[in-house]
Every structure is written in structure tokens, then in C-alpha cells.
Amino acid sequence: MRALHVARSALLLLCFACGRRTHEGPSPLALPRPTPAVVTAVRDDSIGVAALEQRVETAAARRDAVFLDSVWAPTFRFTHAGGTVQSRAELLSAFRQSRPVNGPRTLAREVDSQSVEMHQNIAVTSGIIHVRRCTGAIYHGYTVRFIRVYKRRDTGHWQLLSHHTGRGGRSRAYRVGGGNLT
């Protein structure tokens, strides 16, 4: 009899924790369902932040300091996979400097496997960035994982607060005309 009582108590506890009804009326743990307007607003925000991510990467590849200056927060920090941390001022200064003619060039930075988590006026994003670069006739690419935090400004525009990069994959180098070097 005690085993039956314990099993019934466990079932009731499980139903309570999962929000299932064990009696008439809503579960004390049940959350109100969001309205269609709230669902649409969150979806639109996540689509907007996802599009902004790719614009940020395109601007970084093109060294577009004007655009990045408009998106990065005054306290923006960029943490590289190796642990190096760069401030907004350091990065903007580097982007404003002219590139050496034969130095490395970033050809593209493409966002992939992206996830956007909305928390009212905060967005947390994660994903993969595929980077393609060249130095002279040698082209190479690498992949990194990232996590970013955005905040919606009073103007309604999103501002990038922080970027953290993690190792994402193996680099590949190849010469123009073919042939892998790595």
C-alpha cells in the first residue's frame, strides 16, 4: 500500500512540475501564453538581429569603420579565440589604417549556423563565421565560433556590446590555380 501511495505522490508531483492539470483550473506553474503580437515582435527582432550580424561581418571584411562605429557600443570588447581582448578604439583604429599592398586581406566573413535568443531588449547570438583571406597568391580560410550580446537602443536600433570567439575548425590554405598547402 505504501508503494502505491509513493507512486501516486510521485505522479502528482511530476504532473505539477510539468504544468499538467490534476484538477480543474490552470496549473500554478503554467505561464500565460504570449499573444500573437508578442510572438510576431520577437520573431521580427530576431530576424533583424540575424541580418545585422551578417552586415557586421561584411563591414569587418571591408574594413568599414564608419558602419562598425555606428553599431558597436562605446564599451564594446572583442575577445579572440586565443584570449586577446581588443577594445572598440583599438579595432576602429586598425580598420582605419590602410592595408599593406602585399599584406593579408580578408575577402569574406560569412555567418552560418546562427542562433538568436531574445530577452526583451537584449539579444544573445551564437554561430559560426567562415573567414576567407588571401596573402599574395595564397588563399586560406578558417572557421570560428562566436557568441555576441546586443542591446536595443532607445532609437530602436541594435547595438553590439560584446563579441567572444572560440576555435571553430581547421585552417586551409591553397594557391591560386589549385593545390592545398595544408
Quick one: which of 135, 128, 91 has its CA closest to 110? 128
More reliable by pLDDT, 28 or 118: 118
Pairing of strands 72-79, 85-87: antiparallel
pTM more than 0.95: no
CA angle 62, 65, 70 (to 5 degrees): 120
Look at residues 113, 115, 141, 139 and name the one whose alpha carbon lies nearest to residue 128.
Answer: 113
User: Among 2-6, 67-71, 103-107, where is mean pLDDT lowest?
Assistant: 2-6
On whether the CB atoms of residues 181 and 173 are closer than 8 A, the answer is yes
Cβ contact 110:127 at 8 Å:
no
Q: What is the pLDDT of residues 45-93, one digit of tens each?
A: 889 999 999 999 999 999 999 999 999 999 999 999 999 999 999 999 9
Cα separation, 67 vs 62, whole angstroms:
10
Q: Nearest CA to 60 among 48, 69, 49?
A: 69
Q: Residue 17's pLDDT band (boundaries 50, 70, 90)?
A: very low
- Is residue 102 very low, low, confident or very high in pLDDT (cuts 50, 70, 90)? confident
The distance in angstroms from the start CA to the end CA of the chain is 70
Question: pLDDT band for position 24 (50/70/90)?
Answer: low
The more confident residue out of 112 and 174 is 112
- For the chain, how many residues are written? 182
pLDDT tens, residue by residue, 119-161: 999 999 999 999 998 887 788 888 999 999 999 999 999 999 9
The answer on pLDDT for 13 being more than 50 is no
Fold for 32-175, please state it: Nuclear Transport Factor 2; Chain: A, (3.10.450)
